[in-house]
Amino acid sequence: MPIPFDVLAEPQRRRILDLLLERPRLVGELTAELGLSQPGTSKHLRVLREAGLVRVRQDAQRRWYELRPEPLAELDAWLAHYRHLWSASFDRLERHLDQLKDDAP
């Protein structure tokens, strides 16, 4: 699964992720919060779904959308290549991370 940069480039989609970070939501709720048309919201949700950033749980006619953070973890991994450029204590941090892994796997 490639990192969904283009999916995240859309502000409304990031707002959806922010909302889903709090709790799962119905399409109708998201539509209201975003101020979009219902089909517009559904279209964004489809893109997010296909990128693996959200999953759906069906409940009668309702669909609960919830976050799937895996692609964001991949984005995080990509960022790691650059992180030493701004994180002065990056090397020490890495060593501590390794140590954490050993402590509690």
Partner DNA sequence: CGGCTATATAACCAAGGAGGTATTTTCGAG
Partner DNA sequence: CTCGAAAATACCTCCTTGGTTATATAGCCG
Contact residues toward a second copy (CB under 8 A) are: 5-6, 8-9, 14, 17-18, 21, 67, 69-70, 72-73, 75-76, 79, 81-83, 85-87, 89, 92-93, 96-97, 100-101, 104
2 is a contact residue toward DNA (CB under 7 A): no
Lateral strand order in the sheet of 62-67: 25-26, 62-67, 54-59
60 Rama sector, left if φ>0, alpha if ψ -120 to 50, beta otherwise: left
- 8-state DSSP, 55: E
61 is a contact residue toward DNA (CB under 7 A): yes
Among 14, 55, 62, 96, binds DNA (CB under 7 A): 62
